[in-house]
Amino acid sequence: MTRPATAAAAPPEEPGAPGPGTAPGGPSRAARVLRYLGGRLLTAAVSLLAVMVTSFFLFRILPGDPVRAMTEGREVSVEQLEELRAQFGLDKPLWQQFADYCVGLLRFDFGTSYQYRVPVAELIAERIGPTVLLAGTGTVVAALLGLVLGTRAAWRRGSAGDRATTAVALTLWSVPSFWLGLLLIVVLASGAGWLPGLFPTSGMSTPGVEGGFDSAVDVAHHMVLPVATMVAVVYAQYLLIMRSSVLDEMGADYLTTARAKGLRDSLVLRRHAVPNALLPTVTLIFLNLGRVMGGVILIETVFAWPGLGSLFYSGLRVPDLPLVQALFVLFASAVIIMNLLADLVYPLLDPRVRT
């Protein structure tokens, strides 16, 4: 039975009637969106609260006395030790220390560093730039490299290139980052045999180098080895996920239809397979962007990069409680916030999640 060319006008909707796409008797689309957003925001808030509590008690169980660690090698009387504990608030009951810590976090006051004797917020502000530069560059390069190699490996599944690419990625992924960094320093920075040292061994810049362009080139020169170390260890995650996603899409009907229309394999891959295969990598990209704040602690320590990672490592040795607590909250909060953003963006990219 064919549908008539013209149809009578639909009767006006009654007040309170379900809109298009809403099941009779079910919640409206706006209600579903609000419930989804509310659930994600509540989950993020609970996670942040757990991070606040964990960051306080976790570092309290570390062995060592901060006051004795700071006065090690000096002749200090018992009265002076007690005065330092009172100055840092370590003589208060644990519950009062926790209350002061929570009030400070709500005011974005992280306290004063034990070893640097400056506000923790100032230390974080000084070190956050180098960390974002190093870890952000490494994350972008690793994501691009992994996505390109993973796509090519999946499209030529079972070939020699696929096996070689996957084997190299898995091997580098299993290598400890600090060991690989030290190896690169020995070979490419210190020089080995006939090979001279090509890159700086540590730091972010060379003393005495000034000027906009010269300074930028110098910083880029110092970034080569730490970025290469980070990329070598991280890019396998993107490669394996992208490879698996493309393999899942290769048997889809829409790819067969695209080939039947006469499209070349390169166009089928670029226009149809890759956009759909990218969806599962969104969460991984957002999570790794959240880890940019934390940087790569071991890599920054090995290369003496003046970022938050090396600052966190120096704070653990004391332990510098206000410093490590603030950095722990910062690192964890960045991951939680980026995970929340991924949950909010994913329905925009995949219609199946919206339904």
What's residue 232's pLDDT? 92
Distance CA 301, CA 307 (A): 9
pLDDT tens track for 282-291: 777 887 777 7
% of the chain surpassing 90 pLDDT: 12
Domain ranges of the chain: 33-63+110-182+224-354
| Confidence bin at 191 (pLDDT 50/70/90) | low
Q: Does residue 168 carry a pLDDT above 90?
A: yes
Q: What's the pLDDT score for residue 166?
A: 92
Picking from 175, 166, 151, 153, the residue whose alpha carbon sits closest to that of residue 278 is 151
pLDDT of residue 242: 87
Q: Rounded mean pLDDT of 301-321?
A: 86
* pLDDT (0 to 100) of residue 290: 76
| pLDDT at residue 23 greater than cutoff 90 | no
Nearest to 155 by CA among 253, 249, 258, 238: 249
* pLDDT tens by residue, 237-267: 899 988 888 888 777 777 777 777 777 777 7
76-132 residue pLDDT tens: 777 777 887 787 777 788 888 888 888 888 888 888 888 888 899 999 999 999 998
Residue 20 has pLDDT above 60, yes or no: no
Provide the mean pLDDT of the chain.
Answer: 80
Model confidence at 28, in pLDDT bands (50, 70, 90)? confident
Q: Is the per-residue pLDDT at 164 higher than 90? A: yes
Res. 33: pLDDT tops 60: yes
Reported as a pLDDT band with limits 50, 70 and 90, residue 4 is very low
pLDDT band at 354 (very low <50, low <70, confident <90, very high): low
Statement: residue 34 has pLDDT above 90: no
DSSP codes, 187-250 = IIIS-BTTBPP-S-SSSSS-TT--SHHHHHHHHHHHHHHHHHHHHHHHHHHHHHHHHHHHHHHH
Question: What DSSP character marks residue 15?
Answer: T
Rounded Cα distance, 263 and 79, in Å: 83
What mean pLDDT do residues 22-51 have?
Answer: 80
Per residue in 42-55, pLDDT (tens digit) is 988 999 899 888 88
Tally helices (H) and strands (E) across the chain. Answer: 16, 0
Residues 6+ apart with CB under 8 A from 213: none
Q: What is the mean pLDDT of residues 325-340?
A: 88
Mean pLDDT in residue range 138-166: 89
Residues in the chain: 355
204 touches 130 (CB < 8 A)? yes
pLDDT at 2: 42
The fraction of the chain above a pLDDT of 70, given in percent, is: 86
CATH class of domain segment(s) 33-63+110-182+224-354: mainly alpha
- Pick the residue with more confidence: 165 or 268? 165
- As given in the structure block, the two tokens for residue 309 are 């990672």
* Mean pLDDT of the 184-203 span: 78
Average of per-residue pLDDT across 303-309: 89
Can you give the pLDDT at residue 6? Answer: 41
The arithmetic mean of pLDDT across residues 288-299, rounded, is 76
Question: What integer pLDDT is reported at residue 95 of this predicted model?
Answer: 85
